[in-house]
Amino acid sequence: MQQQLLVAGIDIGGTNVVLGLVNRQGKILWKSSFLTKQFDDFELLVAHASQEVSKALASIEHAQLIGCGIGAPNGNFYTGNIEYAPNLVWKGIVPVAEKFTKALDAKCLITNDANAAALGEMLYGAAKPYKDFIFVTLGTGLGSGLVINGELVYGHDGFAGELGHVIVEKDGRSCGCGRKGCLETYCSATGLVLTYQELKKTSDTLIDSKYVFQKAKEQEKEALTAFALTGETLGLALANAVAYTSPEAIFLFGGLAHAGDFLLKPTIESFEKNLHVIYRGKATIHLSHLNENDGAVLGAASLIWNDHSL
């Protein structure tokens, strides 16, 4: 009987760790999750996650683990570490790839969650036909991954593709990174809510992006305007991004991308309006084809399936 080669995909988020087993065709054969905050000690998280993966492997006939891909905030492909992630409980430098390599006895690669999802889109999603694209996740923050000539760009230090931290407004909104006016303070679930609160002149902390979406569906003026302003800023930022790497496509992923035309229409309008004439008609904006629930695990696993040394 032929062995079934599998990759473990692990997405480490501020709230949940999601893990799964993925075959080369991008099929998720097993998936599970647990709360990140259960494990103050990273060693214990590694032990727990590895045990879960091993148990799942044992339950799949002829399964063989060939590697483990990990997506995590501030995950560094070159060093294999999570480095100074502001939203995780483990501070400083966490040698993630090293610890998982030992625990699973398999090759482990790590990168940040947006980069991992960009690879997922390239291998298993809407970006399959493209060699040059930008992938943007619109969640609590704004993450991004750049693919040039079929290769994910890591930059010289492993931290390329931080489109969310391009400053778009001098002395603008305060950002978690300590600076002001970063794109993600405007174009993210958090940014949308802030814009809506400003328009409604309220600081009601119960308002979240789902609420704004609901209000937009009810045609509330301020909610529609909040989406329009978010799209206007995003469209300009994406038009500017094209002037760097001249991609053929831009993919939008994450919670906010599901707001459909409320966000997409003003984003595309602003994008087209602000795009330099030499790029017009060449670069287009699309919604991701990755399933919102599976994208993170699929993306993480893609790190291994995309590894040219395999």
Output the six-digit token pair for 26. 């991008």
For β-strands 108-111 and 63-71, DSSP reports them as parallel
Q: Give me the least distance between CB of 153 and its own copies, in Å please.
A: 6
As a whole number of angstroms, the distance between CA 64 and CA 57 comes to: 7
Q: Give me the least distance between CB of 230 and its own copies, in Å please.
A: 15
- Under the binding rule (CB under 8 A), the answer on residue 236 touching its own copies is yes
As a whole number of angstroms, the distance between CA 173 and CA 151 comes to: 33
Scan for tokens 């063989």, then name that residue.
64
Residues 247-286 that bind its own copies (CB under 8 A): 247-248, 274, 276-279, 282
* Region near its own copies per CB under 8 A, out of 18-26, 92-100, 125-133, 196-204: 125-133
Q: How many CA atoms lie within 13 A of 305 on its CB side?
A: 26
Rule CB under 8 A: choose which of 95, 240, 269, 289 binds its own copies: 240
- Under the binding rule (CB under 8 A), the answer on residue 241 touching its own copies is yes
Residues 183-212 that bind its own copies (CB under 8 A): none
Q: Give me the least distance between CB of 222 and its own copies, in Å please.
A: 22
* Region near its own copies per CB under 8 A, out of 25-33, 46-54, 156-164, 252-260: 156-164
Angle at the Cα of 169 (from 168 to 172), degrees rounded to 5? 130
Rule CB under 8 A: choose which of 80, 165, 271, 306 binds its own copies: 165
- Under the binding rule (CB under 8 A), the answer on residue 74 touching its own copies is yes
Q: Give me the least distance between CB of 204 and its own copies, in Å please.
A: 29
As a whole number of angstroms, the distance between CA 129 and CA 200 comes to: 43
Q: Give me the least distance between CB of 166 and its own copies, in Å please.
A: 5
Phi, psi of 29 (to 5 degrees): -85, -20
Scan for tokens 């009810």, then name that residue.
218
- Under the binding rule (CB under 8 A), the answer on residue 93 touching its own copies is no
Phi/psi-derived region of residue 141, left when phi > 0, alpha when psi is between -120 and 50, beta in every other case: beta
